[in-house]
Amino acid sequence: MNTKIKYAGLALIGLIAPTVLLAQEAAVAVTEPTPYIDFGNTAWMIVATALVMLMTIPGLALFYGGLVRQKNVLNILMQCFILTAVITLEWVFFGYSLAFSSSTGVLAPFIGGFDWVFLNGIGINDVSPYYISQETARIPHLLFVLFQGMFAVITPALIIGAYAERIKFRGFLIFSVLWAIFVYNPVAHWVWSADGWLLNMGALDFAGGTVVHINAGIAALVMTLMIGNRRNYNNHPTAPHNIPLVVIGTALLWFGWFGFNAGSGLAADGLAISAFLSTHVATATAALTWALLDWTINKKPTVIGVCTGAVGGLVAITPAAGFVGVPGAVIIGVVVSIACFFMVSVVKHKYGYDDTLDAFGVHGIGGILGALLTGLLATPAIQASYSGLFYGNPKQLWIQLIATVATMVFSGVMTYVIFKIVDKFFGIRATQKEEIAGLDISQHNEMAYAEND
């Protein structure tokens, strides 16, 4: 009898064991999903990519173009347009590879290699290796290349606001391409590439606070100081030539920024909606705060002021969009608006530097504040793995500070070096005669508003 029970038990084990093994294999398959392209995520990211392009042309072009004098508006539009063309080519030729592929040895944490030069080895059905969640973000690799390319385009375009109305077009173009190669690409690798040293340190930059805004903002300050003030800047302040263009440009930036921030989660999911909401709330808060400051201090709220406040809010929420909720977004909107208002209306005039369109005062300061406030306000209610000082993780603020300072120093030094090289061999500053005539005529032989005969 015992022998029969023994054999029956062995037979039962023989039947159960394969089932257990199959269940274990199935569990492994669940925890390690096979890469595939999710059509919903892909559709959203195509839209997000188009929205980010809209930020440069026509958004930034109209925003900056309306702020300059009439004789320089075409020059601004041309600068934004040509950068969209030339940086796109730089990006697909080798920029993406330098920013996101892997190199070897001591260079690996600082710059990528040449694996994906001319997008070699990336097929149309390949799934992007870069995503927030393995379970949700399934998009084509080429779509990720294109999405990130729009960030590469707008970053050097932001610097235009620092030297507007006084730069030779040839010098501008050469400087911008070199800056994209030697400044933007390395910083993007530090913060967003899988082997980047700031990413592996734990730096949080959801959509480009360090990579885009601090990077461009510090470059803008260096360019402002090195190229010098516009002719008669201190004696004859200039007014924007077309404020309606500024409003249209700001509205397009606000609209396009939803792709910039909500798209940076790389999926159509709850995180994208949270980033969308925090972006909108911070921007609305900053615009209102600036209007109230204008109203209180200067006795009247201004259209230029509310537009500038909105852009400041967009800048500051960028690194934090995927890590903070509505309360954090409101705090960021208030703080950045007060700080940028002070920089633009007090500090710039006190020290007399000609940051023409406040590229440093808004993008630089806004980016710095956004990065540091992320270290304070990141909440696990949005992403459980991340928290800031106010939610029990003081280390995050220290990491954000390191990332901020490292980006500032690198961008500042490299911008200085590139400026000196380009100025020596090609010239950067427009001549007095060219500046007086206006860059539309002197650089492009065109006029935006021709008089009727």
List of residues 6+ apart from 189 with CB closer than 8 A: 98, 99, 100, 110, 111, 112, 196
Q: What DSSP line would sit under 106-165, residue for residue?
A: GGTTT---STTGGGTT--TTPBPS--S-TTT---BHHHHHHHHHHHHHHHHHHTHHHHTT
pLDDT at 34: 72
List the domain range (segments joined by +) for residue 273. Answer: 39-444
The tally of domains found in the chain comes to 1
Structure tokens at 120: 């070699």
Asked whether the beta carbons of 139 and 41 are under 8 A apart, the reply is yes
Asked whether the beta carbons of 369 and 362 are under 8 A apart, the reply is no
pLDDT at 67: 97
**Is 225 contained in some domain?**
yes
Question: Which one, of 269, 379, 365, lies nearest residue 311 by Cα?
Answer: 365
**Is 15 contained in some domain?**
no
Could you give the CA distance from residue 173 to residue 170 in angstroms, rounded to a whole number? 5
**Is 421 contained in some domain?**
yes
Provide the β-strand partners of residue 127.
140
Domain with residue 245: its CATH number is 1.10.3430.10
Could you give the CA distance from residue 312 to residue 150 in angstroms, rounded to a whole number? 20
pLDDT at 132: 67
Handedness of CA 371, 163, 250, 132 (dihedral sign): negative
Helix %, strand %, coil % for the chain, to 5?
Answer: 70, 0, 30
**Is 31 contained in some domain?**
no
**Is 9 contained in some domain?**
no
What residue ranges of the chain have pLDDT lower than 70?
A: 1-33, 132-137, 235-237, 451-453
Dihedral over alpha carbons 344, 313, 318, 90 (to 10 degrees): -50
Question: Which one, of 53, 49, 75, lies nearest residue 64 by Cα?
Answer: 75
Structure tokens at 347: 């500090």
pLDDT at 413: 98
Structure tokens at 73: 């508006």
Could you give the CA distance from residue 411 to residue 20 in angstroms, rounded to a whole number? 57
pLDDT at 29: 45
Q: Is 302 helix (H, G, I), strand (E, B) or coil?
A: coil
**Is 21 contained in some domain?**
no
**Is 367 contained in some domain?**
yes
Q: Is 429 helix (H, G, I), strand (E, B) or coil?
A: strand
Q: What is the pLDDT of residues 6-24, one digit of tens each?
A: 554 544 445 444 444 444 5
pLDDT at 170: 97
pLDDT at 391: 96
Amino acid at 56: T
**Is 6 contained in some domain?**
no
**Residue carrying the six token digits 């956004």:** 370
Question: Which one, of 52, 125, 127, lies nearest residue 87 by Cα?
Answer: 52
pLDDT at 26: 46
